């Protein structure tokens, strides 16, 4: 009877695995030839993400997709994931993290409905919010790099404009000569929009909407206004470069002043107790030698 039960369980597991495998083979594979490479962690679970995308995609509304698309653009990941794939990633991460938490609790021999319910809720919440945390971290890293590179690009644009070139050529030269990074990629997309026939003002507005940063909005607004009223671009952009450089210096100064405050918690929690333990040990040995204890 035991052997029969084992064979039945193995057969059921094999049939379930075969069914899931066949179902996943029927899922159409998406063409990623014109998209950026996937991060390593997402690449490992991509078949599940693709399956969830195919299942959820037709049921998503434009009201759900538009905010997701804006978040992807602000984080610079709109060529890595589509809005539908972001929802698929969220569903796959929710399921995987929940299963992982349940398996860990089972290996620890945790019993009880309340314990498993708490683990399922915690795992589902962690998996559901992980894509948002990943996008938030990518956006912060991207913004730091843009704030660092923007004064350099503005200097290149100012020098090229004052040398007699138009603003489109100046941006192209800055893209070639400036540091590579997210700002260079955005300027390249701006030039691509201009070459496709999009008006300069509209291309600049699209760039500001994609990046969603105060510094970029100020830069694009200045170019649009100067182009509209015929003001001198050299003087305007030089003032912009000086302002962005001053902001970068103030940001670095603020981070330097915040460093001692941020170091207090690790010092109090880890370093000071070790110092007191070492000193207390030698004090204990000295007191014991003197016969006080």
Domain ranges of the chain: 40-143, 145-249
Q: How far is CA 251 from CA 117, 137, 146, 218, in A?
A: 45, 18, 13, 18
Of 207 and 105, the structure prediction assigns the larger pLDDT to 207
Residue 150 has pLDDT above 70, yes or no: yes
pLDDT band at 31 (very low <50, low <70, confident <90, very high): low
Say if domain 145-249 classifies as CATH 3.30.70: no
Instruction: Give the contacts of 231 (CB within 8 A, at least 6 positions apart).
Output: 225
Contact indicator for 146, 211 with CB cutoff of 8 Å = yes
Name the average pLDDT for the chain. 82
Query: What is the model's pLDDT at position 32?
Result: 66
Write the pLDDT tens digit of every residue in 245-270: 888 888 888 888 888 888 888 888 88
Query: What is the model's pLDDT at position 22?
Result: 59
Top mean-pLDDT range of 115-119, 155-159, 234-238, 248-252: 155-159
* Cβ atoms within 10 Å of 88's Cβ, excluding its own: 25
Gyration radius of the chain's alpha carbons = 28
Query: What is the model's pLDDT at position 76?
Result: 86
For the segment 211-234, the average pLDDT, to the nearest whole number, is: 81
Query: What is the model's pLDDT at position 19?
Result: 59
Euclidean distance between the first and the last CA atom of the chain, given in angstroms as a whole number: 70
Instruction: Give the contacts of 171 (CB within 8 A, at least 6 positions apart).
Output: 157, 187, 190, 191
Contact indicator for 87, 131 with CB cutoff of 8 Å = no
For the segment 73-92, the average pLDDT, to the nearest whole number, is: 88
């Amino acid at each position: 009877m035991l052997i029969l039960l084992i064979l039945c369980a193995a057969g059921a597991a094999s049939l379930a695995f075969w069914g899931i495998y066949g179902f996943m083979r029927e899922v159409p594979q998406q063409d990623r030839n014109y998209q950026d490479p996937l991060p390593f962690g997402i690449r490992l679970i991509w078949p599940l993400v693709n399956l969830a995308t195919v299942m959820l995609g037709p049921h998503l509304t434009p009201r759900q997709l538009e905010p997701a698309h804006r978040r992807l653009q602000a984080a610079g990941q709109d060529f890595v994931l589509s809005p539908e794939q972001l929802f698929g990633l969220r569903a796959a991460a929710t399921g995987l993290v929940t299963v992982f938490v349940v398996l860990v609790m089972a290996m620890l021999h945790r019993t009880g409905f309340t314990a498993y319910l708490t683990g399922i809720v915690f795992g589902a919440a962690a998996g559901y919010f992980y894509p948002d945390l990943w996008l938030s971290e990518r956006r912060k890293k991207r913004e730091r790099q843009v704030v660092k590179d923007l004064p350099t690009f503005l200097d290149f644009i100012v020098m090229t404009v004052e040398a007699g070139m138009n603003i489109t050529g100046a941006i192209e030269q800055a893209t070639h000569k400036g540091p590579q990074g997210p700002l260079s990629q955005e300027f390249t997309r701006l030039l691509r929009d201009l070459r496709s026939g999009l008006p300069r003002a509209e291309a600049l507005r699209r760039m500001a909407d994609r990046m969603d940063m105060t510094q970029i909005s100020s830069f694009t607004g200045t170019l649009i206004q100067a182009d509209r009223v015929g003001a001198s671009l050299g003087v305007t952009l030089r003032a912009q470069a000086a302002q962005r450089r001053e902001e970068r210096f103030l940001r670095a100064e603020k981070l330097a002043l915040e460093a001692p405050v941020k170091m207090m918690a690790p010092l109090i929690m880890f370093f000071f107790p070790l110092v007191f333990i070492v000193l207390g040990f030698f004090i204990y040995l000295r007191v014991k030698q003197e016969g006080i204890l």
